[in-house]
Amino acid sequence: MKLLKSKQPQFAVAVRKTMKNIIILFSIIILGSLSSCTVVKEYEKVKLNDPDMALSDKAVDRFEINAQAYREAASGANGGKTGGGCGCN
């Protein structure tokens, strides 16, 4: 009886370590299978190059540059009119 009691805590520790390793292994497998990394096929890339998918609107950018040029009273290096700040251009 004394022999069984001395080995019981060691067995419990071994079972606990084994269960911990199994849980870690299954967690890694599940997380790996849930990842959303997929390969985009060539025919699906057409949708990414669509002008409607652009991050900014070119017309809005041109308007902002134009408005900034008039606010600053001078423009240059962006293809607009060049002139001083006196309004005599």
Span 9-49, pLDDT tens digits: 788 888 899 999 999 999 999 888 887 677 778 887 777 67
| CA nearest neighbour of 80 among 64, 61, 65 | 65
Q: How confident is the model at residue 68 (pLDDT cuts 50, 70, 90)?
A: confident
What are the residues whose beta carbons fall under 8 Å from the beta carbon of 85, sequence distance 6 or more? 72, 73, 74
DSSP state at residue 34: T
pTM of the model: 0.34
| CA nearest neighbour of 82 among 65, 69, 71 | 69
- Dist. CA 20–CA 41, nearest whole Å: 40
In this model, does residue 82 exceed pLDDT 80?
no
Longest dimension (CA), the chain: 108
